[in-house]
Amino acid sequence: MSHLRVRPAPPDTEGRVTVITPQSAGWTYVGFTLVRLDAGQTYHGHEETRETCLVIVSGTANIAAGTDHFAAVGGRRSAFEDAPPGAVFVPPATAYAVTSMDAVELAICTAPGQVGHAVRQIAASDMSREVRGQGTNTRYIRNILPQDRPAHSLLVVEVVTPAGHWSSYPPHKHDSAEPELETQLEETYYHRIDPPQGFGFQRVYTDDRSLDEAVLVEDGDVVLVPRGYHPVGAPHGYSLYYLNVMAGPERRWIFRNDPQHEWMLKG
């Protein structure tokens, strides 16, 4: 199995099924944890030096962070419902608790942070929705924590790719710090598939092919993208959702397309 593919495990005593740290990923910035909670369960967290974006992928939860309390966050039935997720931004050195009102799928997205940004619930109106591409390259984007919203280093976005379509395509990368041309960002892809017995594919490769892997993804998998281009394909019959977490030394998403495939954008 690819070292870039992280499979979910049975829930631990806190409900965690996937835990990715900078140390386990072998990089510097991005952390990602996926928690599954039954109704009435509470997950407690605290990051001393890292900022956190709590994303309620599905279900509904009450969230407390510091002295702030947010009731009934989320509410959609699945990641594939055409509705925004629930989300709360938590700055460093702030304890939080997520208490589920029903079955909850909680994504905990982290990156290095600094004191100065306040706890806040991210309103649905602040999560812009985009349609990118055309034909079988059409996909649907919701910007949960984009670069024009307050945070120190985190970027969080979710994408639904219809069955038979491609996404993160033409292949693009963001692994080099070149002013105004490209930013260096690590990235995780958390995949869900509908119906869940399906599969998808993600290729991660560099120009010199020192990294070149075709990764089979199944429901609940995470793919690590430390560098390189990283397109995604959804087979016929299976829609694919992914939640992206990005972070790096500069909080901007400036990417570069693979020049071998950029021709398709010029037609």
Q: What is the pLDDT of residue 159?
A: 98
Q: Which domains does the chain have, with CATH numbers?
A: 5-264 (2.60.120.10)
User: What's the mean pLDDT in 246-263?
Assistant: 97
- Cβ contacts of 36 within 8 Å, gap of 6 or more: 11, 15, 17, 103, 104, 105, 106
Placement of tokens 């001393």 in the chain: 48
Q: In what order do the strands lie in the sheet with 166-167?
A: 166-167, 232-233, 199-205, 212-218
Residue-wise pLDDT tens digits, 39-81: 999 999 999 999 999 999 999 999 999 999 999 999 999 999 9
pLDDT above 90 coverage of the chain, percent: 97
Query: What are the structure tokens assigned to 46, written together?
Result: 């605290």
Smallest CA-to-CA distance from 159 within 121, 133, 196 is with 133
The answer to whether residue 267 scores a pLDDT higher than 70 is: no
The verdict on pTM exceeding 0.85 is: yes
User: What whole-number percentage of the chain has pLDDT above 70?
Assistant: 99
74 φ, ψ (degrees, to nearest 5): 100, -135
Phi-psi region of 76 (alpha: psi -120 to 50; beta: other; left: phi over 0): beta
